[in-house]
């Protein structure tokens, strides 16, 4: 797999596709909270194949479980634990991996059980490292904005984590644009470790970050890790029976534990049918098309590294993502996709 520099303001190189752990391979059985049990052996097969193929950028978070949403406090940390266990059991070289995790989400019921305060962040980095069985993480994200903690407190705490060797690089996720700029400028003013990567939702159906987040990334030399590049599987075509031209919810899919009804519109069905035909004409699956679109928008349109974070519940999904990394979409392809999406929104 190709590797690129994550950002202009750092030297870290990452694979052009990242493997996410928000949605892990699942078994049919559920526990008492309704969470799917994780197919750990399939997850290990996916990790091994990804590593062998050079997909070494792995994304997780302290809140992730892998088979339930919203995640109850009894289930937080599961994805980190399984990721760390798999890396150890497979004997993967830690220094070849780029591991990202996050902090800010609620991890305990107490008043300091969430947020970006020094107390919470210093607690959670050590808890994440225990679960991951690692001495450091490569990227540590502020997962959400915390309006109750002064920005400088968060930034100096993150800076300390780098100085202590617990974290290599810093990132921000889902922070409103004007607050994000304040974090960036404060880090510069106080000569603290810079924010090098942003994690936001970005896909063919949700391009809202083009208004402000991508321009901010370009202005300050930051890269972007794009979550939900397949719009939670919608853009993979998994919720459409193309023969009968109807919406479906496959067993074990996210649609079995998330409310997807808002997506199942006549307009979106028409769009899925057109995107499927567009992909088929180019010898691609819908998932490959959607993944390649994110990469090509970064490299060919915005001039900013945009790394799609793909969720993989079967080895086949990983193979599609690996192939998508080398798909080149022309200017005409990107323009045609724009028109397809726009026309579906105006009919």
**One-letter-per-residue 3-state SS of 55-103:** CCEEECCCCCCECCCCCCCCCCCHHHHHHHHHHHHHCCCHHHCEEEEEE
Q: Do residues 294 and 302 make contact, with C-beta atoms less than 8 angstroms apart?
A: no
Cα separation of 290 and 235, whole Å?
6
3-state secondary structure of 7: coil
Catalytic residue among 36, 51, 64, 169, which? 64
Residue 118 near residue 142, CB atoms below 8 Å: no
Distances (CA, A) of 270 to 11, 39, 319: 43, 34, 27
Contacts of 212 (CB under 8 A, 6+ apart): 177
How many angstroms separate the Cα of 131 from the Cα of each of 32, 33, 78, 136? 23, 21, 8, 12
On whether the CB atoms of residues 344 and 268 are closer than 8 A, the answer is yes
Q: Is 239 a catalytic residue?
A: no
In DSSP terms, 30 is beta-bridged to 36
Closest CA to 66 of 102, 22, 99: 22
- Residues marked as catalytic: 64
């Amino acid at each position: 797999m190709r590797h690129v520099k994550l950002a202009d303001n750092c030297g870290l190189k990452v694979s052009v596709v990242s493997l996410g752990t928000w949605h892990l391979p699942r078994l049919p059985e559920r526990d008492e909270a309704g969470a799917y049990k994780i197919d750990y052996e399939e997850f290990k097969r996916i990790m091994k194949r990804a590593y062998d193929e050079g997909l070494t950028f792995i994304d997780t978070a302290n809140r992730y479980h892998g088979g339930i949403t919203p995640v109850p406090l009894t289930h937080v940390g599961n994805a980190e634990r399984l990721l760390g266990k798999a890396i150890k059991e497979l004997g993967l070289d830690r220094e070849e991996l780029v591991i990202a995790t996050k902090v800010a989400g609620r991890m305990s019921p107490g008043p300091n059980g969430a947020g970006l305060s020094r107390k919470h962040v210093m607690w959670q980095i050590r808890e994440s490292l225990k679960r991951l069985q690692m001495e450091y993480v490569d990227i540590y994200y502020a997962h959400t904005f915390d309006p109750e903690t002064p920005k400088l407190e968060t930034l100096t705490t993150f800076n300390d984590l780098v100085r202590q060797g617990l974290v290599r690089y810093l990132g921000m996720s889902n922070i409103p644009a004007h607050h994000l700029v304040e974090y960036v400028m404060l880090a510069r003013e106080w000569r603290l470790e810079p924010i090098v990567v942003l994690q936001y939702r970005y896909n063919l159906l949700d391009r809202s970050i083009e208004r402000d987040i991508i321009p901010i990334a370009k202005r300050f030399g930051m890269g972007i890790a794009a979550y939900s590049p397949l719009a939670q599987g919608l853009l993979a075509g998994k919720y459409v029976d193309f023969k009968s031209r109807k919406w479906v919810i496959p067993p074990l899919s996210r649609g079995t534990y998330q409310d997807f009804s808002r997506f199942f519109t006549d307009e979106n069905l028409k769009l899925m049918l057109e995107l499927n035909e567009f992909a088929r004409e180019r010898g691609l699956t819908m998932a490959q098309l959607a993944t390649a679109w994110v990469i090509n928008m970064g490299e060919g349109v915005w001039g900013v590294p945009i790394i799609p974070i793909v969720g993989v519940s079967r080895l086949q999904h990983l193979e599609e993502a690996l192939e998508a990394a080398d798909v080149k979409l022309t200017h005409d392809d990107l323009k045609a996709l724009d028109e397809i999406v726009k026309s579906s929104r105006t009919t």
